[in-house]
Amino acid sequence: MSAVAGPIETASGQRVDPFAHRRRDVAIALGVLGVATILLFARAIPSGVHTTFELSGGSAIHVPSIAVPARAATLAIGIVCLVLGFAEYLWTANRHPNLLLGIGIALFALAFLTWAGKGQQIDTVGLLATSLVEAVPLALGAFSGLICERSGVINIAIEGEFLIAAFLAAMLASLTHHLWIGLLAGAAAGGVVGLILGVFAIKYRADQIIVGIVLDAFALGLTTFFATSLLNTNQQTLNSPSTYLPFGIPVLDKVPIIGPGIFDQNIFVYIVILLLIALQIGLFHTRWGLRVRAVGEHPRAADTVGIRVNSRRMANVILGGVVAGIGGASFTIGSVGQFQANMTAGLGYIALAAMIFGGWRPIGAVLAALLFGFCDALQFTVSVLNVPIPPAFLTMIPYLATIVAVAGLVGRVRPPAADGRPYTRE
C-alpha cells in the first residue's frame, strides 16, 4: 500500500497529517547539521586554504583533481542544510522526508572531509573503495535479517552466524588451500545456525530474540575456545588462508571515479550487488516474494490460500543463515586472512540496525550499510590526514547511528505485521 502525501481525513472527519512529526524531526535534524557545519567547520578554517579531492584513483581515464576553497565550501554546505531544513518544515506534500535527511547527512560528511583535508589532498576513490569493502558484511547481514523478517522471524543470531562462518571458512580454506571450499563452508555454517534458530523459533515457538541472543553467546564462546586452543597453536596449517584478490569488470572498471572504487573489487562485493538485484526483484516482483511477504504480514490469510506458513518461514530462516554465512566468510577469506576471537565485534547487530534503517528493503539496507561503512572508512582517512580527532571517536559513530536507527529518531518504520509472532493453526 502506498503512502498518502499530505493530510488525510479520519472516520470522525478530522484531518490528520501522518508525516507531520517526521517532517518536523527531519527539519530540526537538518537545522542542527547546518549550524554544526558552520560553527564546527567553516569557522575553524582560515581564509585562502584549499582542499583537494583526487578523483582519478586507478582509472585509465585521467580526471583532474578538484581544489575547493575550504572555508567557502563548508559555509555554503551549512547554508544549504539550513535551507533544506526550512523547506522540509514547509513542504507538507513531502512523503519521503528521510531522503532529504540522507542528503543532509551526505553534505555534512562532505563538509567534514573538506575541513579535515584543508591544505591537503584526499583520495576520494580510495575512500569510496574502503567504504564499500567495510559495508560488505553489513549488507550481507542486513540481507539475512531482511529475508528472515519479511517472512515473520526475527534473526538476532546474525552475529553468531558471522562468527561460526568466519571460523570455519578460515580453517577449511587453510586445510584445503581452496578459497571456494572455505566460502561454501561459511555459507553452510550460517545455514546450520539458521536451521537451529528455525527449529526453536518456529517448531517449538520459543522467544525468537532470546534464542538469537543465546546462539550469539554460544557462537562467541565456541569460536573463542577453538581459536585459543586450536587455531593459535596451529597457525600455519589451520589459520592462514589466502584471500580473494580484487578483479576488475571489463569496461566498467575503467569508468572514472566509480570504476576503480566499485568494479575493481573482490568477489564479495559482486555477491552483494547480485544479491541486491535478486532480492529487490524477487521480493517485490515474483510469486516467491509475494508468498514470503504474505506469511510475514498476514500468516493466517496466507494459510487459507494454501501457503505452508511455517515451511516457508523455515526455508527463509535457513536461506538467511546462508547469506549471513557468506558475510561471515568475508571477514576472513575476503579481508583479514585469518580468524581472530570476536573479530566481528558486534557487526551482526549493526547489520540488523542497517536493515531497520533501510526500512526492511534491500536498497535501503545497502544504503544504510554504506553509511556505516563510510563511518568506518573515515578512520583510515583521518589517520592519514593527521586530524586531531581520536580514532576511537569515529569508531563509535556506527554504534551511535545504530541507536538512532533502532530508536526510530530518523522516522518510524513499520516492520512486517507478523514479525516475531509464532504461527499455529487453531
Which phi and psi (to 5°) does residue 264 adopt?
-135, 65
Is residue 387 a part of any domain in this protein? Answer: yes
Number of domains in the chain: 2
Strand partners, 9: 15
Same domain (yes/no): 87, 195: no
3-class state of residue 412 by DSSP: coil
Domain closes at, from 119, 153, 173: 119
**Cα–Cα distance between 136 and 392 in angstroms, integer?**
22
Is residue 421 a part of any domain in this protein? Answer: no
Phi-psi region of 403 (alpha: psi -120 to 50; beta: other; left: phi over 0): alpha
Which phi and psi (to 5°) does residue 94 adopt?
-75, 120
Is residue 253 a part of any domain in this protein? Answer: yes
Same domain (yes/no): 152, 280: yes
Strand partners, 247: 265
| Closest C-alpha among 334, 339, 318, 361 to residue 135 | 334
Domain that holds residue 335: 139-407
Strand partners, 53: 66, 122
| Closest C-alpha among 273, 402, 268, 388 to residue 345 | 402
Q: Contact at 8 Å (CB) between 362 and 289?
A: no
Cβ contacts of 399 within 8 Å, gap of 6 or more = 346, 350
Is residue 159 a part of any domain in this protein? Answer: yes
Same domain (yes/no): 98, 41: yes
Residues of the chain with pLDDT under 70: 1-20, 57-61, 92-98, 391, 398, 401-402, 404-413, 426
DSSP 8-state symbol, 334? I
Identify the burial level of 384 via C-beta atoms within 10 angstroms of its C-beta, where 0-12 means exposed, 13-18 middle and 19 or more buried. middle
Q: Contact at 8 Å (CB) between 297 and 273?
A: no
Predicted TM-score (pTM) above 0.85: yes
Q: Contact at 8 Å (CB) between 161 and 346?
A: no
**Cα–Cα distance between 244 and 49 in angstroms, integer?**
41
Is residue 134 a part of any domain in this protein? Answer: no
Q: Contact at 8 Å (CB) between 289 and 147?
A: no
Q: Contact at 8 Å (CB) between 225 and 342?
A: no
State the pLDDT at residue 128: 86
State the pLDDT at residue 414: 77
Q: How many residues make up the chain in this entry?
A: 426
Domain CATH number, residue 273: 1.10.3470
- Other Cβ atoms within 10 Å of 335 Cβ, number: 18
Domain closes at, from 84, 119, 154: 119
3-class state of residue 337 by DSSP: coil
Is residue 249 a part of any domain in this protein? Answer: yes
**Cα–Cα distance between 396 and 1 in angstroms, integer?**
37
Identify the burial level of 299 via C-beta atoms within 10 angstroms of its C-beta, where 0-12 means exposed, 13-18 middle and 19 or more buried. buried
HSE-up (13 A, CA, CB side) for residue 212: 20
Domain closes at, from 119, 149, 180: 119
Same domain (yes/no): 364, 242: yes
Same domain (yes/no): 22, 159: no
Same domain (yes/no): 43, 172: no
Same domain (yes/no): 221, 359: yes
3-class state of residue 69 by DSSP: strand
Is residue 333 a part of any domain in this protein? Answer: yes
Cβ contacts of 3 within 8 Å, gap of 6 or more = 18, 19, 95
Q: Which three cell numbers stand for residue 111?
A: 563538509
State the pLDDT at residue 200: 96
State the pLDDT at residue 95: 65
Q: Contact at 8 Å (CB) between 162 and 344?
A: yes
State the pLDDT at residue 426: 65
Same domain (yes/no): 107, 143: no
Q: Which three cell numbers stand for residue 74?
A: 563548508
N- to C-terminal Cα separation, the chain: 29
| Closest C-alpha among 315, 259, 287, 262 to residue 62 | 259
Is residue 59 a part of any domain in this protein? Answer: yes
Same domain (yes/no): 233, 372: yes
DSSP for 382-399 reads: HHHHT-SS-HHHHHHHHH
Same domain (yes/no): 72, 220: no
**Cα–Cα distance between 373 and 360 in angstroms, integer?**
19
3-class state of residue 50 by DSSP: strand
Same domain (yes/no): 144, 200: yes
DSSP 8-state symbol, 245? P
**Cα–Cα distance between 123 and 347 in angstroms, integer?**
26
- Other Cβ atoms within 10 Å of 412 Cβ, number: 10
Helix (H) or strand (E) holding 300: helix 299-304
Same domain (yes/no): 113, 145: no
